[in-house]
Each structure stands twice: as C-alpha cells, then as structure tokens.
Copies of this chain bind each other. A is one copy, B any other.
C-alpha cells in the first residue's frame, strides 16, 4: 500500500494535486528520510541534488557570509516544499531544527515528473509565490523594524505558522507556545544578537505581555 494514503499532510502539500495513479508514480521515484535535530540536508554552494516535502518537524533555510555571519531566510513546516528545481547548485543550506521526516526525490527525476504534470507545477508555483511574499515581509522587518518590533512580530508570526501546522507543542496559540528554536535561532531569524533577543523577551515579560518558562 502506498504510504501516501495515510500521509497526514498530503492534502496541504503539493501531492494534493495528484490522483492515485500519479501519486504512485511520484512515490516510485522518491523515498522517506528521517532527520535528527541539527542534521543538515543541503549545503549552500553545493550541488542541488534533491528536492523534498516536509512530512513532520521543522527545518531552517540559511544563507551565510564568508566570515560566518548567518541569516535564516526561511522556516519549513510540514507540507512545505524543500529545494530549488531548475538550478544546478543550492544557494542556501537546509538544516533540521527538530527531529523531522521528509519525502526526498532526486532533482532531475522530479523535474521530469513535474514537467509532465502541470497541476503539480501549479501547486509548486503557488507555494513559491507564498514563500516570496514571506521573504519580502521579512525584508521589511529586517531593514526597518526595531528590536522590540521584531520580537513581537516573531512571536505573532510563529504562533500562526506553527500552531496551525501542529508542530509547536502547547494547547492554545496564546496560552502555551512551545517553539523548536533556541535564542541562537531566533537571533538568526530576526537579524539580531542573542543578547538583544534575550533583553527584549525580558522586557516583554516585565511588561506582563508574555510569560517565560
């Protein structure tokens, strides 16, 4: 039996565009892979060999400067699409933040498959447009918002993204939000230092707006 039949994120992922037969064909060129928290999947500058779907867990997409300065340019949740079709090299690294499970496909085989399945292409296109919107929202945050605005935006944004996708333990979006990020990751997402993140969180706590463990 096709593993896709029991896949919880199928309807939201790009696979949702495919019928039973097509799904079987796609499945034939892919395989499941499990990642431990911290484990890398692709490296910035390395050959772009695979694309994938996130089934479970959270991953980060990062870009770095030669001297080590790093920025998280994307967060991948279940049902999100990983990778860069039509490009020989990957321009970013992808690393698991929590334990994760993904469906990987060889890039070449996937490109061929998607080339003959327009509905799939359309789904990928929609997703890519959404990612672009997210990236541009983030550009505005990175360039123009103050430290406190960044942290506030971060908390709001993450409670939407993660709670919706069920990858942030906790019952209500406001009552208890458990994120798979340490201070280092938050800092890399918001373009600040861990000290500044910590200070802002402390300030929010002091003002009674949030509680910390």
Residues in chain A within 8 A of chain B (CB atoms): 61, 63-65, 69-71, 73-74, 84-87, 91-92, 115, 118, 121-122, 124-126, 128-129, 131-133, 135-140, 142-145, 191
Contacts and interface: CB of A to CB of B under 8 A. Distances in A.
Given A132-B132, A135-B139, 15 more contacts: A63-B136, A69-B140, A69-B144, A71-B139, A71-B140, A74-B136, A115-B122, A121-B122, A125-B125, A125-B128, A132-B135, A135-B135, A139-B139, A139-B142, A142-B191
B73 A140 contact: yes
Contacts of A118: 115, 118, 121
Contacts of A64: 140
**Which 4 A-B residue pairs are closest in the complex by CB-CB distance?**
A143-B191, A73-B136, A118-B118, A135-B135
Nearest to A70: B144
B138 A139 contact: yes
B139 A128 contact: no
Interface centre among A61, A115, A135 (most CB of B within 10 A): A135
Contact of A140 (B65, B87, B129): B65
Report how many copies the assembly holds. Answer: 2
A25 B136 CA distance: 33
A142 B129 CA distance: 21
Given A71-B144, A115-B122, A121-B121, A63 B139 contact: yes
A136 to B, nearest CB: 4
Contacts of A137: 63, 91
Contacts of A126: 86
A135 to B, nearest CB: 4
Contacts of A70: 144
Given A65-B144, A139-B63, A144-B65, A129 B85 contact: yes
